[in-house]
Structure formats: C-alpha cells, structure tokens
Amino acid sequence: MAVLSQVLAQDPTDQPDPPAPTPTGIDVFANVTLYEPDGSVQVTTPRTESLPNNTVLAAWNDPSSKGSIAVYRSKNSGYSWYPLGTATSDSGKRLLQPHLLYINGTYGDDTGTTLLAVNAVDDRTTTIELYTSGDQGESWDLASEIVSGGPLNNATAAVANPYLVHNGNSITVFYTGAGDKTHAQKIVQQTTTENYDSWDSPVDVVTSQFQSDQPAAPSIAKIANNKYIIAFQYGLRNANASTYTYPIYYKITSNPQNAASDRTRDIHVDTGLVPSGVPSVTWTPLGGPNGTIVLSDSKSNSVFVNQYLGEGEWWELSTTAGRAFGREVTVPPNDQKKLRFAGGAEWSGSGASQILITVMDLQKALGA
C-alpha cells in the first residue's frame, strides 16, 4: 500500500476525473407532452415506473393499437421522452391497460427486471398477460398468460385493469375479475413466488353482498406501519335505473394478498366532493409520522390526501395538473418532496388527447 507521502506526491493530472454526481432533485414543470397520437385517438390511463439514474418508463392505453404496446423512456425524471421498446402480442391481440413494475433487486434468478402487465384483447376474449424485460424496457418477452375472461364489451364477463405489486419474495397481480353467480364483478388477485409463470389460484379482494355492484380498477400503495391501501372505483347501480355511478372506495390492509376481510371504506372529503372513476394512489413520507396518502380520481384537477393512515376525513388539494381519466399520481423515489402526474384524455372521451406529465412541489403544497 502506498504511504501518504507517495500519494501526495503524485501528479494530479495523472488521476482520472471523479465521476459526475448523480442528480437527486427534480425540477417542477407542468403538462410536458410525452406522446401525441395521430388524429383523434383517445389515449388514456398512462402508467409510469421509476428506474435508477433518473430514468422513468411509461406506457398507456391506446385503443387504436394493433398487436403491440409502446414503451417510452425519460432519462431526466420525466421532462423529455422518446420511444424505447415495444411489447408485441404473439397472437396479434390488442395490448391494453398496461401497468409497469421495476424489480429493484433480485427476484428469483433475475436482477433488475422490469415487468409489464397488460390486457390482451380480441373480439371474444380478454387475457391478463405478463411481459418481462431484462434491459430496462428496450426488449420484452411474454412470460405468462395469467387469467382469461370474456370480451371487453361485457363488463361482467371480462378481466381487466391489471396492477402489479412486489411484496417480499412474491409478485401479485390485482385485476378486475369476471363475474360469477354471486357477484357481477369483483376484484381478485393472483400471486407467484420466485418466477413469473406459475400463479396461485385467484383470491377475492373486493366483493359485495349486492350482485349488481361492480368494484373495479384497483390501485395499491404501501403506506406507513407496513400497511397497504387498495383503492378502486365502485360501480353502484342507481335505484330503479340501469345507470351506474363510480365513487372511489378503498381498503387498508396489513396483507394485500389476503384483504378480503378488511372493511371497504368510502372517502369523506372536507369540500364534500366525491372522488369518482379509475383511481391512482401513492404515499409520501411528508406530513408527519404517518406520512401522507395521495389519491387521484378521474374527474378532478385536485388530489385527495389523508395523513391518518386512511382513517378519518380526507381533504382536497388543488394541483397544476389537468384532469384526466385514470390519471396517475406517483411520488418519485429520487425526490420524495415531489408528486408526478401522468394523464391522457378526459372522462368525456371527446376530441384529441395527449399523454401529459406534470411534476409539482408536494412539500410546498402540503405546507410540510
């Protein structure tokens, strides 16, 4: 080992440059265009996933897609985007309703794998499929067909809305389940351990005592005290009518793989607004010992926040992001003082749409 005098005597020009520091903060910005389709296609429900080194992946629901789904990448925390890879259906089915998950570490024999769950759709069937990528989203392989149901235009027969959760040594996919004799629709989950193609039998997560109720479109986040929140739209048929309303309900559970017995809760907001439609939920350590749950609905520019582990009242927090159907909210792991939004077309479904990204200063908005 060189003595200290020898180290000091070395010519500094002989030393390699130190590595450039990795940025950890994220600037705020509003309504950056991630993707703009041709014509008047209604692109909706974008889903993003953070990877190391300020990298973010994104995919979204594009009903005009034919046999594949595009994945875009940003290398500056969501400010600029470019096309990266494509997951392609072996059977030519449309790939809709994506959800991305990056395994930050080792799972089974793989390290740093990115997962993409989709609904593979044709005129007669829906199938929840799982694709994997070992190069951070550039190439994709079909890993498994998890569950199948009836056509997408039959809400009580189709499977839909997959959502992936990594919990310990298991991967769980939550989805809207096809109806049975007791439930027109329900939310179920299936779990695999140490691989991607051997799934346990379906387990009910959300059901109703009323056959006509239609819980759907789950979104899950881990919160404080090792608990989870499972948020979902709850289709309720209006009295003496065939129309439905879609308020957002939720469960708080210690075990997302066995949440059937946890009670279903509605959301009481300080302004009286009822969050509705496909939800997205996330959690930030800001806001006290319990942190803050942040929930987006499909009809409001605002988000809804709770700092009591899902107990008590929620309050409405205005944002700089436009409203959108299935708008996503995410706390970036490289700057937990910020909140990222990803949105597409609005609820009305008319006119052209874009996929837009916004990052707001959540710490400032909460006064935390």
Q: What is the pLDDT of residue 10?
A: 35
Cα dist from 155 to 24, 179, 212, whole Å: 43, 8, 11
Name residues whose C-beta falls within 8 Å of residue 306's C-beta, 6 or more positions apart in sequence.
Answer: 292, 293, 295, 312, 313, 314, 315
Residue pLDDT, tens place only, 45-65: 999 999 999 999 999 999 998
pTM for the predicted model, two decimal places: 0.91
- Token digits for 135? 């190069």
CA atoms in the 13 A half-sphere facing the CB of 368? 19
Residue pLDDT, tens place only, 227-261: 999 999 999 988 777 788 999 999 999 999 999 99
**CA-based nearest residue to 136, from 21, 52, 61:** 52
CA atoms in the 13 A half-sphere facing the CB of 332? 32
Rounded-to-integer distance, Cα 62 and Cα 170, Å: 29
Express as a percent the part of the chain with pLDDT over 90. 75
Rounded-to-integer distance, Cα 319 and Cα 337, Å: 14
What does residue 134 show for φ and ψ, rounded to 5 degrees?
-100, 0
Question: Is 70 exceeded by the pLDDT of residue 13?
Answer: no
CA terminus-to-terminus distance, the chain: 49
Name residues whose C-beta falls within 8 Å of residue 297's C-beta, 6 or more positions apart in sequence.
Answer: 248, 275, 276, 277, 278, 279, 304, 327
SS3 300: coil
Express as a percent the part of the chain with pLDDT over 70. 92
Select the more confidently predicted residue: 341 or 109: 341
Residue pLDDT, tens place only, 135-153: 999 999 999 999 999 999 8
Q: Strand locations in 285-344, DSSP E?
A: 292-296, 303-306, 315-317, 328-330, 338-343
Residue pLDDT, tens place only, 173-230: 999 998 788 888 999 999 999 789 999 999 999 999 888 899 999 999 999 989 999 9
Residue pLDDT, tens place only, 278-334: 999 999 999 999 999 999 999 999 999 999 999 999 999 999 899 999 999 999 999
**CA-based nearest residue to 43, from 359, 355, 364, 365:** 355
In terms of Cβ atoms closer than 10 Å to its own Cβ (0-12, 13-18, 19+), residue 349 is exposed
Model confidence at 7, pLDDT cuts 50, 70, 90, reads very low
- Token digits for 271? 């302004």
SS3 139: coil
- Token digits for 20? 């450039």
- Token digits for 104? 């930050």
Q: What is the pLDDT of residue 111?
A: 83
Contact 309, 288 (CB under 8 A): no
Q: What is the pLDDT of residue 17?
A: 43
Rounded-to-integer distance, Cα 342 and Cα 96, Å: 17
Question: Is 90 exceeded by the pLDDT of residue 364?
Answer: yes
Domains annotated for the chain, with CATH where assigned, are 26-366 (2.120.10.10)
CA atoms in the 13 A half-sphere facing the CB of 8? 3
Average pLDDT across the chain, whole number:
90
Q: What is the pLDDT of residue 167?
A: 86
